[in-house]
Amino acid sequence: MSLIGRFVNLWRRSSLEREFDDELQFHFDMRVDANQRAGIPRADAEAEARRHVARLRAREGMRDARIILWLDELARDLRHGARRFANDPGTTALAIITLSLGIGANTVIFSLLHAALFRPLPFPDPDRLVSLFDGSRIQATSGVPPTVPEWIDVRDGRHRFEGLSFYDTRDVQLTGGTEPARAFAARAEASFLSVLGARTQLGRLFVAGENDPGRDRVVVLTDGLWHRTFGADPKVIGSTIRLNGAGYNVVGVLAADFAFDYQVPEPIELFIPFTMSTTYTSRDADFTSIRRVSAIARLQPGVRIEDADHDVKAIGETIAKAHPELYRRGTDGQDIGFYMGIEPLQSALTGRGRPVLLLLFGAVTLVLMVACVNTAQFLMARAIERRPEVAIRMALGAGRARLLRQFLAEALLLGGVSAVAGVLQATWLMPAMIATLPSRMTPRSTPQLDLPVLAFTAILALIAALLFGLLPAWQFSRATALRRMEQYAIGGGRSRPRQALIAFEVGVSIVLLVVAGLLFQSISELQQSPAGYSSDDVTLLRIRASSTGAAGMTTGDLYARYLDRIAQIPGVASAAVADGPLAGAGGIEFTIPGRQNGPQQLTSYRIVSPGYFSTLQIPVLDGRVFSAEDTIGHTPVAIINEELARRYWPGESPIGRTIRTGPGPRLATMTIIGVVGNVRPVLLAASSPQLYVSSLQQSEPSIVMLVRKSPGATVSADAIKQAVWSVVPEQPLFDIRTMNDLVDRQFAEPRAVGRLLAAFATLGLAMSTMGIYMIVTYLTSRRSKEVALRRAVGAQPGDVLSLLAGQTLRWSIGGLAIGIIAAIAASRALRSTLIGVMALEPQTVIAMSAFYLIVIVVAMAVPILRAMRLDPAVVLRAE
Amino acid sequence: MGENKKDQLQGTLDLLVLRTLSTGGKMHGYAITERVVQISRDVLKIEAGSLYPALHRMDEAGWVKSEWDVTENKRKARFYSITAAGRKRLAAEEAHWQKVAGAVMRVLRHA
């Protein structure tokens, strides 16, 4: 209370002082009365009372007791500082702008980071929610979602979970309304919503058993979809909606505040039960190892996550022992080190954007450091101007602590104003910045300037203020005596601390520049490297085999029928299906029978129809492509890429040789029938082993259809839809777009990160340039007389230039060199965290350094040339 | 408390003031000085320059509380009275003083 009370008293000083006076006056009057009563004459009585009361001393003591004095003095220092800043509005504004840009950028990136990584999930007791995953010690993979049989084994094993569940996601076509609409659905195990702790506003959640095959189909809607598509009509409960052609009974509408939008391509709009058919639950089925589901669990209250993890690991070991054929390498029987584990759901759901956000955070921290150093430069320059004043004050006996406090007060003032300006900038910049970033990196939960973020900004500003405030103060407190101050003023060349700061700014800025340059270099390298296919004139659409309407046909047959109809559309040159548009799933192993080199990994395993290669214009180099005869029952066949052929059959034809894939679901021994050109994988330039199998031999329900039109022809999306629907009405179709659009989109993330880094680098560049400009201007004005004298006795402009700029240039180049070394190290680290980042090319470094050097030289030349335009005679006469 | 000379003097002044207030009830500063002079038979004289800072300090510390009121002859004055915390403090100071005074007496007598 006392401290706060004294603090409050600071603001009611004048009334306090009045009270002191009244009290002392009363005492004085009483004393005078008493003296007079004792017979002392009035004048003497008053004199005695005055001595006795010792008003000055008393008042000082009372003030001391009531008010925090140092704070009072700090307030005075702040006022003093504010007046000084107001005297120099231009430079002050510049300093505040730089610093607030640094703080603002930091605030934005931190609020993204906070929303993405640290803010608790909006479910009850989020600390008890965990995610289940698979890992392999040999392949060094972790965080892979488990398969359904694995999840079942965990559920039925010994564990300390209150509940376990899982989900996966897919597009659905919502029909029966006014027009077919696409919606994003989660197929959830029945307890999923209750494990999360979700509540409904209407109806109910799923009940146990609704996952079983053959049960009535039910659906739970989110509040958003309910409003958007059903006009928030409460009668929707009990009604039937059609999803992908099948009827689903609406049983519930989730509470308005429920949202599950973490690490899913888009927010989930409706939940349907995951049908636990043997296709998914049996380890013998085709898709078991491919269909992986995001599994979650809720710990029992009071159970530690380490203990629960221990339980799950034990179950994982049992699984691996029970199914050696699936959990060991097929060829040499070596254990792949399969294990299962859990991690907090928070980090599982928010972890993927982390490296990029941390990278950006690192970059803005560097920008802020440059801003701090810049502000220190500014304050030091001002401090030097104030040297006579400070010297006088020190000579008059002002303590070093007193001076230090004054410097700090100014720094705090600058930091405080900049923090406020920075937060204002952040509110304004945030929406723009979020719009730039690809969705994978931005959290769905909207970042906002909430309390933790503001606290962060405040701490940041405080640290910044201390950093840039103490530097000039420290520099000053070393110069104790007046004599030393004078020496300082005459020499002019003793600017080493400031030069070192310049070197630091240059070093940090070049790191940012080079890293930003690296990202753009990588993008252009990727765009220029041969793709191996042509995406012009190709339209893509996604199709998922409908559960109705494909009766009696394999998915391969069904897609062949679609392709036949599409081929009849005028203007269509060719069409194909594949399990994905570009290079496909990696990580599947292959072996060449008879070779000793053990299992290798494919970077792409693609299931394609016969027309795939002609549609994407991938050249056939040897053998043939798939035909309509390569069906189930005939010899399993495969096509390999040039790189795979070159590695294993250099100088000979691989046609007719065998290749084996697996272990796992893609276990097959196939005859090689053709060799095709290398296709550039997503965000990788290196060619690597790729393998194609026939869609008529490998079943896959979810595919992409690729339609190439003849050059110059137009094929409407509607014509393609009608062709598909003429085979199966209501076949859901999604995401119709050009392939060029898709190809371009893979560069979205590196491009967005590159743009942000470039913006940060520009900030750093501008600040360091300003710092250089300031120091050279200062040195020039300090030595203007010396320069005039030298020129008067015949010094050449070059001599003058090197006299004034030589030192700064040397320090800058030193900073540049160290910065380049740091940038090379940073680019190495970046390559391992961000896909698509290429090796740093010397040209990038050279270009960036040369550019920076030019900027530095210009910043130095401007003030010097200006000084040299002055007539030496005039300068000298001013003496 | 009593670590250095200044503290010791301050402690003594606090002791005198608290003791006076503990028996005298609500008093203004002038009355406190008069009472101390009277009881100490003119030996202890408290100057206003010391008394008022001490009173305000003890007010902040919560040992005394103060309020503005009018005197018998209708003059406005600030009145002080002792609080519960002040009484506790007084007991401690008194004990300390007795101990020190006793010790000094013993030294004077036997050393």
pTM of the shown model:
0.67
Confidence (pLDDT) at A330: 47
Please answer whether residues A513 and A848 qualify as being in contact, where contact means their C-beta atoms are separated by less than 8 angstroms.
Answer: yes
Q: Mind listing the pLDDT tens digit for each residue in A524-549?
A: 887 777 788 888 899 998 887 755 44
Is residue A298 predicted with pLDDT exceeding 90? yes
Is residue A398 predicted with pLDDT exceeding 80? no
B51, closest residue in chain A (CA to CA) = A58
Strands A129-136 and A589-591: unpaired
d(CA A69, CA A397): 19
A316 within domain boundaries: yes
Residues of A in contact with B54 (CB under 8 A): 61
Is residue A492 predicted with pLDDT exceeding 50? no
In angstroms, the separation between the Cα of residue B62 and the nearest Cα of chain A is 8
Going by C-alpha positions, the residue among A121, A191, A204 that lies closest to residue A151 is A191
A852 within domain boundaries: yes
Average pLDDT over residues A830-858: 84
- Number of domains comprising chain A: 4
Please answer whether residues A814 and A499 qualify as being in contact, where contact means their C-beta atoms are separated by less than 8 angstroms.
Answer: no
d(CA A397, CA A414): 27
Mutate to test the interface with B, among A10, A23, A35, A57 (most CBs of B within 10 A): A23
Residue type, position A877, single letter: R
Confidence (pLDDT) at A653: 92
Are the Cβ atoms of B78 and A23 closer than 8 angstroms? yes
Least confident residue range of A22-36, A425-439, A664-678, B50-64: A425-439
- Say which residue, B2 or A108, is predicted with more confidence: A108
Residues A330 and A363 in one domain: no
Helices (H), A783-841: 784-792, 797-833
Average pLDDT over residues A171-177: 73
In angstroms, the separation between the Cα of residue B70 and the nearest Cα of chain A is 11
Residue A641 pairs in a beta bridge with A676
Is residue A218 predicted with pLDDT exceeding 60? yes
Residue A583 neighbours by CB distance under 10 Å: 23
Residues A183 and A294 in one domain: yes
Confidence (pLDDT) at A271: 95
Confidence (pLDDT) at A489: 45
Q: Mind listing the pLDDT tens digit for each residue in A521-530?
A: 888 887 777 7
Is residue A675 predicted with pLDDT exceeding 70? yes
Average pLDDT over residues A63-86: 74
Confidence (pLDDT) at A203: 93
Instruction: Write the residue in A22, A58, A65 that is nearest to B57 by C-beta.
Output: A65
Confidence (pLDDT) at A485: 46
Confidence (pLDDT) at A160: 93
* Phi, psi dihedrals of residue A691, rounded to the nearest 5°: -140, 140
Going by C-alpha positions, the residue among A149, A596, A521, A490 that lies closest to residue A340 is A149
Residues A561 and A683 in one domain: yes
d(CA A729, CA A759): 51
Confidence (pLDDT) at A408: 79
Least confident residue range of A301-315, A347-361, A419-433, A512-526: A347-361
Residues of B in contact with A32 (CB under 8 A): none
In angstroms, the separation between the Cα of residue B52 and the nearest Cα of chain A is 6
Percentage of chain A lying above the pLDDT 90 cut: 22
A680 within domain boundaries: yes
Confidence (pLDDT) at A246: 83
Residues of B in contact with A27 (CB under 8 A): 29-30, 48, 52
Are the Cβ atoms of A29 and B76 closer than 8 angstroms? no
Average pLDDT over residues A662-670: 74
A634 within domain boundaries: yes
Query: Mean pLDDT across chain A, nearest whole number?
Result: 81
Residue A426 neighbours by CB distance under 10 Å: 25
Task: A560-568: list long-range contacts, CB under 8 Å, 24+ apart.
Answer: A560/A609, A560/A628, A560/A696, A561/A727, A562/A705, A562/A723, A562/A724, A562/A727, A562/A731, A563/A609, A563/A611, A563/A705, A565/A723, A565/A724, A565/A726, A565/A727, A566/A705, A566/A707, A566/A720, A566/A723, A566/A724, A568/A723
Element (H, E) at A497: helix A496-528
Confidence (pLDDT) at B4: 43
Residues A594 and A489 in one domain: no
d(CA A646, CA A653): 9
Is residue A850 predicted with pLDDT exceeding 70? yes
Are the Cβ atoms of A31 and B30 closer than 8 angstroms? yes
Confidence (pLDDT) at A697: 85
A378-392, A587-601, B45-59: which is most confident: B45-59
Average pLDDT over residues A748-763: 84
Confidence (pLDDT) at A196: 93
Q: Mind listing the pLDDT tens digit for each residue in A360-386?
A: 888 888 888 888 888 887 777 777 666
Confidence (pLDDT) at A297: 94
Are the Cβ atoms of B60 and A65 closer than 8 angstroms? yes
Is residue A38 predicted with pLDDT exceeding 80? yes
Q: Map residue A149 onto helix, strand or coil.
A: helix
The ipTM is: 0.88
Residues A182 and A326 in one domain: yes
Categorize the per-residue pLDDT at A193 as very low, low, confident or very high, splitting at 50, 70 and 90: very high
Is residue B1 predicted with pLDDT exceeding 50? no
A502 within domain boundaries: yes
B50, closest residue in chain A (CA to CA) = A58
List strand residue ranges (DSSP E) for A137-199, in order. 141-144, 161-175, 181-188
Please answer whether residues A264 and A271 qualify as being in contact, where contact means their C-beta atoms are separated by less than 8 angstroms.
Answer: no
Query: Is it true that the peptide bond before A663 is cis, omega within 30 degrees of 0?
Result: yes
Average pLDDT over residues B47-57: 87
Task: A400-406: list long-range contacts, CB under 8 Å, 24+ apart.
Answer: A400/A477, A400/A480, A403/A473, A403/A476, A403/A477, A404/A473, A404/A477, A405/A70, A405/A73, A405/A74, A405/A77, A406/A77, A406/A80, A406/A81
A104 within domain boundaries: no
Residues A805 and A706 in one domain: no
B73, closest residue in chain A (CA to CA) = A30
A440 within domain boundaries: yes
Average pLDDT over residues A590-595: 82
Least confident residue range of A221-230, A275-284, A819-828: A275-284
Confidence (pLDDT) at A446: 61
Residues A143 and A55 in one domain: no
Confidence (pLDDT) at A686: 59
Confidence (pLDDT) at A495: 64
Domain containing A14: what range? 2-67
Show which of A287, A309, A336 is a domain's final residue: A336
Confidence (pLDDT) at A388: 67
Confidence (pLDDT) at A754: 84
Q: Mind listing the pLDDT tens digit for each residue in A242-283?
A: 887 788 999 999 998 888 877 676 778 899 999 888 878 888
Query: Mean pLDDT across chain B, nearest whole number?
Result: 85
Categorize the per-residue pLDDT at B22 as very low, low, confident or very high, splitting at 50, 70 and 90: very high
Average pLDDT over residues A415-442: 78
Residues A414 and A276 in one domain: no
Is residue A152 predicted with pLDDT exceeding 90? yes
Confidence (pLDDT) at B3: 39
Please answer whether residues A515 and A359 qualify as being in contact, where contact means their C-beta atoms are separated by less than 8 angstroms.
Answer: no
Going by C-alpha positions, the residue among A774, A853, A859, A763 that lies closest to residue A813 is A853
Categorize the per-residue pLDDT at A197 as very low, low, confident or very high, splitting at 50, 70 and 90: very high
Is residue A664 predicted with pLDDT exceeding 70? no
Is residue A290 predicted with pLDDT exceeding 80? no
Are the Cβ atoms of B49 and A22 closer than 8 angstroms? no
In angstroms, the separation between the Cα of residue A30 and the nearest Cα of chain B is 7
Is residue A615 predicted with pLDDT exceeding 90? yes
Is residue B8 predicted with pLDDT exceeding 80? no
Confidence (pLDDT) at A387: 67
At A388, list the tokens.
Answer: 């006579």
Task: Check if CATH label 3.30.300.20 holds for domain B5-110.
Answer: no
Confidence (pLDDT) at A484: 47
Residues A229 and A260 in one domain: yes
Categorize the per-residue pLDDT at A481 as very low, low, confident or very high, splitting at 50, 70 and 90: very low
Is residue A878 predicted with pLDDT exceeding 70? no
Is residue A685 predicted with pLDDT exceeding 70? no
In angstroms, the separation between the Cα of residue A68 and the nearest Cα of chain B is 12
Is residue A115 predicted with pLDDT exceeding 50? yes
Is residue B95 predicted with pLDDT exceeding 60? yes
Is residue A552 predicted with pLDDT exceeding 70? no
Show which of A696, A727, A758 is a domain's final residue: A727
Average pLDDT over residues A338-349: 86
Residues A515 and A584 in one domain: no
A594 within domain boundaries: yes
Categorize the per-residue pLDDT at A285 as very low, low, confident or very high, splitting at 50, 70 and 90: low
Average pLDDT over residues A630-646: 89
Element (H, E) at A145: none
B74, closest residue in chain A (CA to CA) = A26
Show which of A35, A67, A99 is a domain's final residue: A67
Average pLDDT over residues B96-104: 88
